[in-house]
Amino acid sequence: MSTQNASTSSGARAIYVVKPLEISKVLCHRRKNDREQFLIRWKTDPEFPVPPRAPCSWHDLEELTQCLHLVQIYLESRSRGQPASSSAAPNVATLGPQPLKRKRESRDGEHPLSRDSRTGYLTPARPSRSTSVISLSSSSDTSSNTGDVSVYNAVLERKDGWIVAKRSKQIKVPKINATNLPTPEMVEQAANTPFTQAERLIRAAFHKKLERIPNLFLENKIDKSTPSLDFKFIKDYVPGHGVYRADPDTYEGCDRPCKPNMGNHVGCEHPRECECLEYAAVNEDALTRDDPKQYREYMRLRQANEFIDTRGLPKRFPYHKPKGERSPQTLVQFYREQRHPIYECNVNCRCGLICKSRVVQKGRKVPLTIFKTPNRGWGVYCNEELIAGEFIDTYLGEIITTQEADRREQASTKEKQSYLYSLDKFVGDSLAEEESYVVDGQYMGGPTRFINHCCEPNCRQYTVSYNKNDPRIYDIAFFALEDIPAGTELTFDYVDPDEEEEDVAVRKREAAMRDPANAGKQRCNCGARKCRGFLWT
Ligand SMILES: C[S@@+](CC[C@H](N)C(=O)[O-])C[C@H]1O[C@@H](n2cnc3c(N)ncnc32)[C@H](O)[C@@H]1O
């Protein structure tokens, strides 16, 4: 706890700026002197093995400006009618071709204080810089750790730079057991107390975050909430502990300069020779037309599942530039349907920026809005019409090892969403599963992290590599599967199974709904005709 004003001449209580790491959670709220106040539970130190009987105190919003995310968690838990958990825990939603089921357990950051038996002071192990007194009601076990709580009244005060709870003699402090807050009376009072000031501050804080991201907007016609303030918008992957990311200077590049007017509508002008296209899809139509003998040999190797040296073979270029006024390069139908990895040119290529093999790396060009849906949390729409094959944006987040992803999965509760996306496109080819990485978009990422699932989606995720020799790190890029009118929710299929006829899909859904094994699973609210009934099925 740090102090903005050490004291006030009028004797009013000084203003504290409460630091997020100092408190474990927001417990309740009330209205006092026309201001919303929030009851917080202070963290105590883990080194002292006494039960967690941390003191609590009420604070105005001006003291909680750095802890608004915890106030937000409290407000959201109230709207859901649940007690607030101590952290913005993730939801379980594992994205990617090989879904991982990940769960998270909420952890309470509370730790006990140590109490000096002589003075009755509660002392944290680390000195606090707090400089002033706040009144509170606290309880502590004076005798044992067995739960025989003898409640005593105390005030907090600063002593030698420490926060201490001192037994109150002069000040009349009502007796409240601080280990069991909020009291039923507090809860009842809170139920009838609006929290409009807090909602307004939270909205302003989220809009401030958005201001730094061009062409990104927020819309909520459902309620007053915003996405989590804990979420950080990032512009690139953030490598986590143990993640190796090759220096772009080491990427192998192509050495043929592109000519300005070449490949205007067709794509690359060197589809046979470009080194970056070595692993691009072979253009079998062109091969059989130009060199039937080579085509036969190619097909023989393919059927025998043997290594094929594709250098010099004609390749299918992934992008096409439709003629027309607003004509972004689009992903061609072959790649849209076949899911072959896309290889773009990189910083070491001689082709230059005019090269047509640079689409995803130039980043999002379309304006997006994160909006509140009635039954799927936040979703995303594009403010402009998208054409089939148009690039939208990539999925960003922290890149973590599979081991770390497993650890995060084990530390999670069942119903919560996660935002883990496996980078497992090349697992089984040139990569072992345990060597692959996972993108965690829970606390950091881009707007695509808010895209919801649909069993009949209008977008799809594709692998885009700039370093053909690295099977571990590549971009996950979203492209429109069809023309999408402005304002239509963007969706993709989290599981991406093979296409099914509608009657088959409906029969399977009805069976899934009846299956008791699916009782705890998360229902899919996509509303598509071919909806499979549950997420991740
Ligand atoms: C990657 S997040 C998408 C953003 C999310 N709606 C949010 O508000 O943060 C995945 C989570 O969104 C929700 N969701 C996505 N698609 C859904 C659907 N079709 N039906 C119900 N919930 C869905 C689920 O809670 C899922 O765990």
Query: Residues 267-307: pLDDT tens digits?
Result: 677 788 888 899 999 999 999 999 999 999 999 999 998 98
What percent helix, strand, coil does the chain show, rounded to 5? 20, 25, 55
Separation of CA 264 from chain center: 37
Rounded Cα distance, 272 and 36, in Å: 68
Query: Could you identify the atom of ligand 1 that is nearest to the CA of residue 441?
Result: 1
Instruction: Decide if 285 is inside a domain.
Output: no
Query: Residues 425-469: pLDDT tens digits?
Result: 999 888 899 999 999 998 999 999 999 999 999 999 999 999 999
Q: How many domains, the chain? A: 2
Confidence grade of residue 525 (pLDDT, cut at 50, 70, 90): very high
Instruction: Decide if 120 is inside a domain.
Output: yes
| Ranges assigned E (strand) in 286-423 | 319-320, 330-331, 342-343, 368-372, 378-382, 391-394, 398-401, 420-423
Instruction: Decide if 483 is inside a domain.
Output: no
Instruction: Find, among 181, 175, 158, the residue nearest to 110 by Cα.
Output: 181
Q: Going by CA atoms, what residue is nearest to atom 25 of ligand 1?
A: 417
| Residue 466 a catalytic site member | no
Instruction: Decide if 52 is inside a domain.
Output: yes
pTM of the predicted structure, to 2 decimals: 0.82
Q: For the packed helices 68-80 and 196-211, what is the interaxial angle rounded to 10 degrees?
A: 120
Instruction: Decide if 399 is inside a domain.
Output: no
Where does a domain end: 138, 167, 191? 191
Q: Ligand 1 mean position to 104 CA, how many Å?
A: 16
Residue partners of 334: CB distance under 8 A and separation at least 6: 281, 316, 340
3-class secondary-structure state, position 512: helix
User: Which amino acid is it at 259?
Assistant: K
Where does a domain end: 191, 215, 235? 191
How many other CB atoms are there within 10 angstroms of residue 520's CB atom? Answer: 8
3-class secondary-structure state, position 95: strand
- Of 419, 437, 462, 494, catalytic: 494
Is the pLDDT at 152 greater than 80? The verdict is no
Instruction: Find, among 368, 535, 337, the residue nearest to 453 by Cα.
Output: 535
Instruction: Decide if 353 is inside a domain.
Output: no
Q: Are 470 and 237 in contact (CB under 8 A)?
A: no
Residue partners of 83: CB distance under 8 A and separation at least 6: 77
Q: Ligand 1 mean position to 453 CA, how many Å?
A: 6
Among the residue ranges 43-52, 126-135, 251-260, 295-304, the one predicted with the least confidence is: 126-135
pLDDT at 135: 39
- Of 395, 419, 421, 474, catalytic: 395
Instruction: Decide if 504 is inside a domain.
Output: yes
Query: Could you identify the atom of ligand 1 that is nearest to the CA of residue 417?
Result: 27
Instruction: Give yes or no for residue 453 CB within 6 A of ligand 1.
Output: yes
Rounded Cα distance, 347 and 403, in Å: 31
Query: Could you identify the atom of ligand 1 that is nearest to the CA of residue 373?
Result: 6
Where does a domain end: 173, 191, 209? 191
Q: Are 438 and 405 in contact (CB under 8 A)?
A: yes
Q: Going by CA atoms, what residue is nearest to atom 13 of ligand 1?
A: 376
Instruction: Give yes or no for residue 378 CB within 6 A of ligand 1.
Output: yes
Asked if this assembly's ipTM is beyond 0.95, the reply is yes
Is the pLDDT at 67 greater than 90? The verdict is yes
Separation of CA 162 from chain center: 37
Query: Could you identify the atom of ligand 1 that is nearest to the CA of residue 228?
Result: 9
| Residue 494 a catalytic site member | yes
| Residues spanned by the domain of 184 | 2-191
Instruction: Give yes or no for residue 530 CB within 6 A of ligand 1.
Output: no
Rounded Cα distance, 442 and 447, in Å: 11
Instruction: Decide if 13 is inside a domain.
Output: yes
